[in-house]
Amino acid sequence: MTFLTESQNFLTETQAPGPRVGTPVNAVQAEKTIEPAGTNNKIKWKARAYGRRGNRVSVEYRHGGANEALEVETIGNKIVVHLETNPYENVVTTAADVLAEVGAYHLLVTVEAAEAYSDGLVAGVAETHLAGGLPSGPLSVAGTILEDAYFRYFAREDALERDDADFESHWDRTAL
């Protein structure tokens, strides 16, 4: 429940325990399954951000020269996975290696194996954007309390975050 109280002639907000007003209700995260040539090497990349912001994230698997180490580099919204190679410039990085390197701690994405096994070697993949991120619809503000110098307003169950002519029919108003 959110409480707004009058302070210095403007409304301020404090957050009470419980669900936060403004949390995405039905927003969708962008994602993409990267499928290099081969088997047992598909990885599902999913944006941590909800909505269209996740669509800006891209992933690239880059095959370098001989004796390269596995490294994950983030440049803005672009994630570059530098694949590990042997002295003969052959890639020796498996999907499991990429999963472990990116892990659960990356700020932009989460990753998971898209197949039962992730022991297959990965190959270079051109920059690929995550897709499908959608914003949420109107946010529920039920339980919100607003106060000004004269009234206390309480949002009903059907109240949504909006500013329209029908605003008052979704709020109860009590004089202070």
110 lies in the same domain as 155: no
Long-range contacts of the stretch 97-105 (C-beta < 8 A, 24+): 97/70, 98/43, 98/61, 98/70, 98/122, 99/43, 101/70, 101/71, 101/72, 102/72
Strand 171-175 and strand 151-155: pairing?
Answer: antiparallel
51 lies in the same domain as 116: yes
**Nearest Cα to 111, choosing from 55, 39, 34?**
34
Mean pLDDT computed over every residue of the chain: 79
Tell me which DSSP letter residue 52 carries: G
53 lies in the same domain as 83: yes
State residue 139's pLDDT score: 53
The SS3 call for residue 133 is coil
State residue 155's pLDDT score: 72
Q: What percent of the chain has pLDDT above 70? A: 69
100 lies in the same domain as 40: yes
64 lies in the same domain as 108: yes
Length in residues, the chain = 176
Give the range of the structural domain holding residue 101, as residue numbers without chain letter: 29-129
9 lies in the same domain as 39: no
**Distance of alpha carbon 75 from alpha carbon 32, whole angstroms:** 18
**Distance of alpha carbon 168 from alpha carbon 157, whole angstroms:** 13
17 lies in the same domain as 55: no
38 lies in the same domain as 54: yes
The model's pLDDT over 118-164, given as tens digits with 9 standing for 90+, comes to 999 999 999 999 999 887 655 555 566 666 777 777 777 655 555 45
- The one-letter code for the residue type at 162 is R
Strand 10-15 and strand 78-83: pairing?
Answer: unpaired
* Range name among 15-19, 108-112, 136-140 with the lowest pLDDT average: 15-19
User: Per-residue confidence at 15, pLDDT binned at 50, 70, 90?
Assistant: very low
Asked if residue 77 lies in contact with residue 60, where contact means CB atoms within 8 angstroms, the answer is no
Which uninterrupted H or E stretch holds 98? helix 95-102
